[in-house]
Structure 1
Amino acid sequence: MSKPEKGEVAYRVVLVVEDEFLIAMELESALTHGGFRVLGPASSVNQALDLLAKQRPDAAVLDVTLGHEKVTPVAQLLTSWDVPFILATASDAAELARHDVLAKVLNLGKPTDMKRLVEVVRSL
């Protein structure tokens, strides 16, 4: 991340959507230590949409399967806003291909390499 100009905020906001508590905390910790401010973590589509109604993030990290629902409504909103996002999911390529909004998105997989995650989010 480049040094902010005078009056600019020194961090970017990253939405985290992950329903597994320990993984969500690990993502939040890695991103926070990487210099980002985390919005969430949200554990459901509704929770994520509620957060997005209040604040527009600079980027997002999404799990695909949240309990019995898919994260696609969140991905569609982010796409409509031109907010870049990556996936951190155990879903395979065939599953992701079923959802146009997810089909070509980088998936870091699970378990997620947290150092790579921070590097990729910085590059978004």
Structure 2
Amino acid sequence: MKDQEIKNICPTTTSKLENEGALLVDVRENEELEELSFDVQNLLHVPLSEFEDRYTEIPLDQSLVMVCRSGARSLKTAYYLINQGYQEVKNLEGGIIKWAEKGFPVKGSLAQVKSASSDCCSSTDCC
């Protein structure tokens, strides 16, 4: 299982899976949640800074969708979970930004999150 590829999924598929009982695991830090958060029932927050100490709080027997701001940190944690023996792990490609842009439910302001990220990717050499 250690060489398993993580499936990146879109917001529509993520929403469908969450409605069917999949658990969204948000790995963003606490202050990020204050700006913008997912407005769904099946959500667990395990910040990346605490992930290695707290990942055992994530159920082994449930379908998981790892989420973050843009999809990069959640992809790393998805691979980490696969290496710990988790089976049903997917990653929300584009993170909460893409989720909110597609009109799925959030609490907070997408504009605030996008303006905070403009410093990182304002150059054409980035990403």
Taking structure 1 as the reference length, the TM-score comes to: 0.42
Q: TM-score scaled to structure 2, two decimals? A: 0.42
